[in-house]
Amino acid sequence: MDAPPPSLDALRIHRAPLDTKSSPRRPWWLWVLLLLLAAAGAAWFILRAQRIIVQTAEVTLQSTASGAADRTLLNASGYVTTRLEATVSSKVTGKVSEILVEEGMSVGKGQLLARLDDSNVTAGLRLAQAQLASAQLNLAETQPMVNYTQAELDRLSAINSPRAVSRSEVAKAEADSLAQTAKLARQQADILVAQRQVEDWTQQLDDTLIRAPFAGVVTTKDSQPGEMISPMSSGGFTRTGICTLVDMASLEIEVDVGESFINRVKAKQPVEATLDAYPDWKIPAKVTTIIPTADRQKATVKVRVAFDQLDPRILPQMGVKVAFLSDQPAPSPTPTRSLSIPKTAVQKSGTREIAWVVKDGRVERRAITLIHSSASQVTLTAGLSAGETVILNPPATLHEGASVTVKSPR
């Protein structure tokens, strides 16, 4: 007889009931993470407690005297100009055959600058000289005839007998003497004309030699050999100048002063000039002329200022700033104080400069304000106090509150 099929209860899996009072087991990686964090914290505390060896310097106090700027009555700007400047040209139109100067060359008064083609002028001068020689020969031929006719007239006039000498013979001798004398006078006038023609051609020949009208320096060279030059402009086919000559001894400053401030300027007033090219060079000068007219377009008055002493660094057309000073004595200098630290103590942090100060063996971070920097020192006005100690060449590991050990200098 077959056995009955098992019931469904016999197929169920019986599970032990969970113990709700026991705590769940934590994963192993969580324990590893906690150990790493603990190790990192311990290392941080150890490194923080470790002292950093640094070199330091003391913040020093500097005293400077000021007060010269208090004499300034007015500031203005202008340009270096020259009272004597010329574009040297020729008196006649001609072709340039030779240029004897270059830019920057110093020349003396009357020195030869250029030559023009003189072939035509030389030919004209030779012709005038030949005509003068011919006139002189004619005069030499006429002079004996004048002497002869005069002597003949004197001889006939001395004979009193009308039978020996007729009146017509005397009249003829007198006419011959007058004619020869007139011919002599005309030939003498011809010689004078020939001499004037020689002088004229000689002057034209000299005009082909272009000379310096005054001593100075050549600033521009305006023509070249082979070009035509003329005292007047003739379009684009001729030049009007050989070079530009400047008398460096006549350099001065031209300044436009506003009408509202011209009452602060007077003749012989002391001036301090500063060239844009040399901003640290203060040049003493004085007012020479106040032009007695105003520019109504700009509402300014032109003032000329002369340098007390010229210098080769001063060049025409340089920009210059001038300070018109008071005639009164300068006030007593007022001392101003500023702090100074080595340049190696300054560190850049973003857009600010900072310095690290050592106080009681700990480091403090200070933001500082610089006003001047040199090759080795910097001057500042805020952020530090005199006598404090700053760290030189701060290491990258330096941080706020770090302990440091000051290394004594060797």
What pLDDT is stored for residue 180 in this prediction? 84
Question: CB burial class (10 A; 0-12, 13-18, 19+) of residue 337?
Answer: exposed
Q: What single letter denotes the amino acid at residue 53?
A: I
Give me the architecture of the 87-117+209-246 domain, per CATH: Beta Barrel (2.40)
Which residues make Cβ contacts (< 8 Å) with residue 333, sequence separation at least 6?
A: 65, 66, 67, 68
Angle between helices 119-158 and 167-207 in degrees, nearest 10: 160
What pLDDT is stored for residue 20 in this prediction? 47
Q: Which residues of 365-404 are buried (b: 16+ CB within 10 A; e: fewer)?
A: eeebeeeeeeeeebebeebbeeebbbbbebeeeeeeebeb
Neighbours of 10 (CB within 10 A): 7
The answer as to CATH 2.40.420.20 being correct for domain 52-65+335-406 is yes
Backbone phi, psi, residue 326, to 5°: -80, 150
Ranges of each domain in the chain: 52-65+335-406, 72-82+249-325, 87-117+209-246, 119-206
**Same-fold call for 72-82+249-325 versus 87-117+209-246:** no
What pLDDT is stored for residue 336 in this prediction? 64
Walk along the chain (410 residues) and give the pLDDT tens digit of each residue.
445 555 545 545 555 554 544 445 557 777 777 778 877 766 655 555 566 778 888 888 876 555 444 578 889 999 999 989 899 988 888 899 999 999 989 999 999 999 999 999 999 999 999 999 998 888 888 888 888 888 877 777 777 666 667 777 777 878 888 888 888 888 888 899 999 999 999 999 999 999 999 999 999 998 899 888 888 766 556 778 899 999 999 899 999 999 989 999 999 999 999 999 998 899 999 999 999 999 889 899 999 999 999 999 999 999 999 999 987 765 565 566 678 889 888 888 887 888 889 888 888 888 888 877 777 888 887 788 888 888 888 888 888 888 877 776 55
Question: What CATH number does domain 72-82+249-325 carry, 3.30.750.24, 3.40.50.10700, 2.40.30.170, 3.30.420.40?
Answer: 2.40.30.170
Question: Which structure tokens are listed for 4?
Answer: 């009955």
What pLDDT is stored for residue 1 in this prediction? 45
How far apart, in Å, do the first and last CA atoms of the chain sit?
A: 114
Q: Answer whether 283's CB lies under 8 Å from 49's CB.
A: no
